[in-house]
C-alpha cells in the first residue's frame, strides 16, 4: 500500500517513521510535516494514496472539514487520525467526517500497526493501488563479467521491441557507469539527488532519470562515493516501491559486494540474474556467489545463470561448466568482442548497431522469459529448448 504520514512535529514524524518501518510489507511510505499546522495535501497524490496518517494535539475542526471533502465520494485514502484526549461528541464528529481509525496520543506502536493491518484487510482499499511492474536484478559473480552490459541492453530491447516502460537503476554507488553503455553523455541528476528526499514519487524519479528512448529511463549512480553516504536500505526500498507502480520493468544493476541496499532489490526481485564467463576463476566465483545467495535466503527458483562471452568451439564445454558449478546454465551470450566494444565506446545499445547480431538474439531469449509477450523469432526455439 501507499502510506502517507503528515505529522505536526518532527518528533512525531520520527516516531511514526520508526513504527512503520517495522512493518514487514512492501509498502511505499511518504513522510511529511505540517507547514504552519496546515496539512498541505497538494504535496501528495490523494488518488493513489491508500492510507493517510494525521496527528494533532487535539481534534481540529478544520482538519475534519478537509477530511470530509476528500473522503465523501472516494474509498481512498483511508484516514488514521491521532490526537490527545477528546470528548465522545468530538470522536463521533471525526468518524462522521470520514476518519476510519482513531488513535489516542501518545501513540503505542501496536495501536498504529494494528490500525494499518485492519485497513489492509479491507480489499477495496488495499487492492486499489497494485504494483504494475517486475523487478529484475543483475549481478556479476566476479568483476568484468558483463552484467551491466547485459542489463542495460536487455532494458533497451524490452522498451523498443515490446513497447514496455522500463526503468534501470544503477546501484553501483562507487563505480557506477551504466549511463555510458546507453548514452555518450551523462545525465544531470543521479540516484543520490532524489532517493533520500521526502515526498519521493514517480514524478521526481522521471525528472531525475535519463531518458534513453520513449519508454526507457535510467537512474544513474552518483558521480562520487561521498554523495551516496546518506543512502540507506529504506530509501532503496521506498524507491523500488514507487518505481514498480509506474514502470513495467525495473532493472537493477547490483554491485558484487552484497550489502543492505542490494538485499532490498534481491528480496523483491522476480528474477536474479547472475552473470559469469566460461573460465575457471569465474566458475569458482559463481559457486561462492550462489552459496552466498542461498545463505541470504534468496529463492533458488529466482536465480538465473547467464554465461557471457561463450564460444562453443574454444571454451570449456557447457556440460563441464554446469557440472563444475552444479547448476544449469539458463542463457548463453555469444562472444563478439568487436561489436560489444564498439557499442560501449560510442554509448549506443547494441541493437542500434547490429539488430541481427547473435548477442541481440541471445538477449531476446531472456526477454521471452521475463515478459508476458512473445517475440516471434525467439519464442519457438526457447520454449522448445526449455519446456520440451
**For 210-235, what is each residue's pLDDT tens digit?**
999 999 999 999 988 888 888 988 88
Q: How many helices (H) and strands (E) does the chain have?
A: 17, 13
Q: Stretch 287-296: mean pLDDT, rounded? A: 94
Query: What's CA 83's distance to the chain center, in Å?
Result: 35
Query: What's CA 334's distance to the chain center, in Å?
Result: 29
Percent of the chain residues past pLDDT 70, beyond the cut:
93
CB 253 within 8 A of CB 266: no
Please give the pLDDT value at position 375.
43
Closest CA relative to residue 152, chosen from 62, 63, 218, 209:
218
Banded pLDDT at 199 (limits 50, 70, 90): confident
Whether residue 383 is predicted with pLDDT greater than 80 in this model: the reply is: no
Mean pLDDT over the full length of the chain: 89
Sheet with 271-276, strands from edge to edge, namely 210-213, 216-219, 166-170, 249-253, 134-140, 271-276, 303-310, 331-334
Please give the pLDDT value at position 316.
92
- Which residues does 112 contact at the CB level (< 8 Å), separation at least 6? 16, 19, 20, 53, 80, 82, 103
Output 225 or 79, whichever has higher pLDDT.
79
Please give the pLDDT value at position 386.
45
Banded pLDDT at 91 (limits 50, 70, 90): very high
CB 342 within 8 A of CB 181: no
Domains in the chain, CATH or no CATH each: 2-129 (3.40.50.2300), 134-387 (3.40.50.300)
Q: How many CA atoms lie within 13 A of 128 on its CB side?
A: 21
Instruction: Note the pLDDT tens digit of each residue in 355-379.
Output: 999 999 999 999 999 986 544 444 4
* Alpha-carbon distance values, 342 to 48, 113, 144, 347 (Å): 44, 54, 17, 8
- The 3-state secondary structure of 47-86 reads HHCCEEEEECCCCCHHHHHHHHHHHCCCCCCEEEEEECCC
Whether residue 179 is predicted with pLDDT greater than 70 in this model: the reply is: yes
Is this prediction's pTM over 0.85? Answer: no
Whether residue 98 is predicted with pLDDT greater than 50 in this model: the reply is: yes
What is the rounded CA–CA span in Å between residue 30 and residue 34? 13
Output 375 or 316, whichever has higher pLDDT.
316
Banded pLDDT at 175 (limits 50, 70, 90): confident
What is the rounded CA–CA span in Å between residue 120 and residue 26? 12
Instruction: Note the pLDDT tens digit of each residue in 318-356.
Output: 999 999 999 999 999 999 999 999 999 999 999 999 999
Whether residue 111 is predicted with pLDDT greater than 80 in this model: the reply is: yes
Instruction: Note the pLDDT tens digit of each residue in 26-77.
Output: 787 888 899 888 888 888 778 778 899 999 989 999 999 999 998 887 777 8
Query: What's CA 154's distance to the chain center, in Å?
Result: 17
Please give the pLDDT value at position 377.
42
Q: Stretch 195-212: mean pLDDT, rounded? A: 88
Pairing of strands 134-140, 51-55: unpaired
Please give the pLDDT value at position 131.
65
What is the rounded CA–CA span in Å between residue 378 and residue 231? 40
What is the rounded CA–CA span in Å between residue 320 and residue 26? 40
Banded pLDDT at 95 (limits 50, 70, 90): very high
Amino acid at each position: 500500500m501507499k502510506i502517507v504520514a503528515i505529522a505536526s512535529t518532527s518528533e512525531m514524524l520520527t516516531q511514526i517513521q520508526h513504527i512503520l518501518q517495522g512493518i514487514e510489507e512492501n509498502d511505499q511510505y511518504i513522510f511529511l510535516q505540517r507547514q504552519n499546522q496546515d496539512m498541505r495535501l497538494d504535496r501528495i497524490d490523494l488518488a493513489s494514496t491508500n492510507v493517510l496518517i494525521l496527528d494533532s494535539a487535539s481534534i481540529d475542526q478544520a482538519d475534519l472539514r478537509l477530511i470530509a471533502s476528500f473522503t465523501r465520494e472516494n474509498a481512498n485514502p483511508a484516514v488514521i487520525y491521532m490526537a490527545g484526549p477528546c470528548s465522545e461528541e468530538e470522536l463521533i464528529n471525526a468518524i462522521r467526517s470520514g476518519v476510519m481509525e482513531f488513535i489516542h496520543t501518545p501513540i503505542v506502536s501496536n495501536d498504529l500497526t494494528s490500525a494499518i493491518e485492519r485497513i489492509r484487510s479491507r480489499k477495496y482499499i488495499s487492492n486499489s493501488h497494485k504494483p504494475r511492474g517486475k523487478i529484475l536484478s543483475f549481478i556479476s559473480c566476479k568483476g568484468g563479467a558483463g552484467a551491466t552490459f547485459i542489463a542495460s541492453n536487455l532494458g533497451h530491447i524490452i522498451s523498443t521491441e515490446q513497447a514496455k516502460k522500463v526503468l534501470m537503476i544503477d546501484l553501483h554507488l562507487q563505480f557506477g557507469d551504466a549511463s555510458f553503455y546507453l548514452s555518450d553523455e551523462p545525465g544531470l541528476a543521479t540516484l543520490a539527488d532524489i532517493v533520500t528526499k521526502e515526498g519521493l514519487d514517480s514524478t521526481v524519479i522521471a525528472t531525475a532519470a535519463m531518458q534513453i528512448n520513449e519508454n526507457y529511463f535510467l537512474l544513474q549512480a552518483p558521480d562520487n562515493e561521498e554523495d551516496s553516504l546518506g543512502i540507506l536500505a529504506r530509501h532503496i526500498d521506498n524507491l523500488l516501491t514507487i518505481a514498480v507502480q509506474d514502470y513495467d520493468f525495473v532493472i537493477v544493476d547490483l554491485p558484487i559486494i552484497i550489502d543492505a541496499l542490494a538485499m532490498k532489490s534481491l528480496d523483491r526481485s522476480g528474477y536474479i540474474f547472475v552473470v559469469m564467463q566460461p573460465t575457471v576463476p569465474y566458475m569458482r566465483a559463481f559457486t561462492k556467489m550462489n552459496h552466498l545467495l542461498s545463505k541470504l535466503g534468496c529463492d533458488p527458483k529466482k536465480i538465473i545463470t547467464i554465461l557471457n562471452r561463450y564460444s562453443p568451439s574454444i571454451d570449456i564445454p557447457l556440460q563441464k561448466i554446469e557440472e563444475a558449478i552444479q547448476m544449469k546454465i539458463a542463457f548463453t551470450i555469444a562472444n563478439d568482442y568487436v561489436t560489444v566494444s564498439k557499442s560501449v565506446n560510442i554509448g549506443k545499445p547494441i541493437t542500434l548497431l547490429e539488430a541481427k547480431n547473435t548477442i541481440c538474439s541471445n538477449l531476446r531469449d531472456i526477454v521471452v522469459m521475463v515478459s508476458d509477450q512473445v517475440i516471434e523469432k525467439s519464442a519457438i526455439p526457447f520454449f522448445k529448448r526449455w519446456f520440451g
